Amino acid sequence: MIAKTTKGADGAPSERDPVARLQAFYRGEMSAVETYERAFSVAAFVGVADVLRRCQASHQQRVALLRARLNAMGGDVPESSGLWGKMVTMLEEAAASVSEKVAIGILEEGEDHGLEGYHAHLEALPPDDRTFVEEHLLPAQLETHRAMSNLKQAVTDGA
């Protein structure tokens, strides 16, 4: 059985459709994995690669959890992070050429965006999916957000 996404008036997936919401979370996590992958090649990040690796591994784990959840629901697993992932990568690369502080700030804002996304859509999810997000995704997102916030603060304090 393939779960279909519910379409809203504008033709976009309905925010109330749990499969569509989990697919959006999946694309966001894929975007984060791709962004951290790009960051490893940026000279400004050489001294903080261990923090970036931990954050990327956490996002990779969330991708795997979401993939398994979508498969169990019979939903399609997105093939890529989509347009948002490409835009975030370009923005991150541009910031990295300016300074370490700006580049880390961009990564921290990405973590903000992920955290806000989980919080903004949590209540619209059915109870089982809400519990899944609260127990598996949100704690990990809080941790990567905290790691990047701490790194941003350390760079700011060291400036």
pTM of the model: 0.83
Q: Which amino acid is at 117?
A: G
Angle, in degrees to the nearest 10, between helices 18-39 and 100-122: 170
pLDDT at 22: 95
pLDDT at 9: 43
How many Å apart are CA 142 and CA 80, to the nearest integer?
Answer: 23
Tokens 């955290």 correspond to 115
pLDDT digits (tens, 9 = 90+) for 10-49: 444 455 699 999 999 999 999 999 888 877 777 667 778 8
How many Å apart are CA 119 and CA 121, to the nearest integer?
Answer: 6
Q: What's the topology of domain 18-158?
A: Ferritin (1.20.1260)
pLDDT digits (tens, 9 = 90+) for 80-130: 887 656 656 665 666 556 677 777 888 898 899 999 999 999 999 999 999
Per domain, the residue ranges of the chain are 18-158
How many Å apart are CA 81 and CA 114, to the nearest integer?
Answer: 13
